[in-house]
Amino acid sequence: MAGLTYKDAGVDKEKGYEEVKLIKNLVKKTYSKNVLTDLGGFAGLFQLDLSDIKEPVLISGTDGVGTKIKLAMEMDKHDTVGIDCVAMCVNDIICQGARPLFFLDYIATGELEPAKMKSLVSGVVDGCMDASCALIGGETAEMPGIYGKDDYDLAGFAVGLADKARIITSKDLEVGDVAIAIKSSGLHSNGFSLVRKAMEVAGVSLDDKFDENSSIGEKLLTPTKIYVKEIQNLMGQVNLKAVSNITGGGLYENIPRVLKDDMDCEFVLERDDVDPIFKKIQEWGDISTDEMYSTFNMGLGMVVFVGKEDEAKVLEILGDQGKTVGQVTKGNKEVKIELR
């Protein structure tokens, strides 16, 4: 009788080799001249170009997709959550003025299915290309006993570069500065535990119709918008005093992270501007408006702060994606929201 093998324990090494073959050409699409290694080595090598940087500072961030993954698994649609993974990382580091350089992903699963993993990585590749960064490495871990056969999780790690003098720190933020929001693409990748609970309470299915073009599931899986191009463009033309990524906790949690101790931010928002998906979620769970704004981005994916003199320029650059939504006032790091 032959002894136990790793495959007997639930880990199929051959499928891992097959996955690498399937994703290798996909990943290469993100490479630049700075990438010095190919997929399959022990580490990813990235050569820094510091020719236009006086005092280089590396800025890093890590995040995952959260329970939005559950919807992807239930719908058997895996090609968009990779975009979410990249977005949740790079959208954080650009708040400090970083230019994303490279990205690494980590996928853990109960049973490795190469085709599914290829679909996941294809989303990561799409996100990296949108963020203008290279996917230089990653890890797929087959973990039977920890994850169910069809379960997986996805996390990522982004590294960016900034010149120390151009790091966005809020040091120049003043009372009277304006807050300009850049639209979100939907929920992004936050609050899905509440979304799923609200759907359960209301008896709503992912297959139910949302509008003429999509089901509720498709609407909820809309990938997180990546704001790298917008922030880099603004940095080149105006003085961005502060940038806040509106992730979990909404405006109430994320705006104070960039305010000084003696400042508030007062928002005046239009009810009609809110994406209908947020209204549906609120209706499904009979959720209070305060809870909605404390959990979701409510259509405001990123908020930038500039002096009044730069307001018109920022709005011109952003076009229909930007809108003035608030102003910095004296206070103690509170967020006040007026809905009209």
Both 122 and 142 in one domain: the answer is yes
Taking only Cα atoms into account, the Rg of the chain, rounded to an integer number of angstroms, comes to 21
Average pLDDT over residues 24-40: 87
114, 139, 166 — which closes off a domain? 166
* Structure tokens given for 221: 């899986």
Is the same domain home to 306 and 217? yes
The predicted structure's pLDDT at residue 19: 81
326 CA to centre of own chain: 23
pLDDT at position 5: 75
Q: Is the pLDDT of residue 263 over 90?
A: yes
**What CA–CA distances, in Å, run from 318 to 237, 273, 304?**
12, 17, 11
Average confidence score pLDDT of the chain? 93
What's the pLDDT score for residue 1?
A: 54
Checking if the pLDDT of 57 tops 90, the result is yes
What pLDDT sits at residue 7?
A: 80
pLDDT at 27 over 90: no
Quick one: pLDDT band at residue 12, thresholds 50, 70, 90?
confident
Q: Which residue has the tokens 């509720």?
A: 216
* Total Cβ atoms within 10 A of residue 257: 13
* 261 domain-assigned: yes
Q: Which percentage of the chain shows pLDDT scores above 90?
A: 85
Q: How far is CA 243 from the centre of its chain?
A: 15
Q: How far apart are CA 134 and CA 12, in angstroms?
A: 28
Question: Is residue 42 located within the same domain as residue 104?
Answer: yes
pTM to 2 decimal places: 0.94
Residues 132 and 225 in one domain: no
**2 belongs to a structural domain:** no
Q: What is the mean pLDDT of residues 287-301?
A: 95
Domain that holds residue 50: 13-166
Q: How many residues does the chain have?
A: 340
CA 60, CA 260: separation in Å to the nearest integer? 23
Whether 226 is covered by a domain: the verdict is yes
Strands of the 242-245 sheet, one edge to the other? 242-245, 300-306, 178-183, 322-330, 263-269, 335-339
| Cα–Cα dist 241/238, whole Å | 9
On the question of pLDDT at 283 being above 90, the answer is yes
Residues with Cβ within 8 Å of 44's Cβ and at least 6 positions away in sequence, in order, are 35, 37, 102, 104, 136, 137
The answer on pLDDT for 38 being more than 70 is yes
Q: CB within 8 A of 183, min separation 6: which ones?
A: 225, 299, 300, 301, 321, 322, 323
Domain count, the chain: 2
pLDDT digit string (tens) for 183-233?
999 999 999 999 999 999 999 999 999 988 899 999 999 999 999 999 999
Indicate if the pLDDT at residue 40 is higher than 80: no
pLDDT tens, residue by residue, 305-325: 999 999 999 999 999 999 999
- Last residue within a domain, chosen from 109, 142, 166: 166
Same domain, yes or no: 156 and 185:
no
Q: What is the pLDDT of residue 2?
A: 67
Task: Tell me, yes or no, whether 62 and 96 share the same domain.
Answer: yes
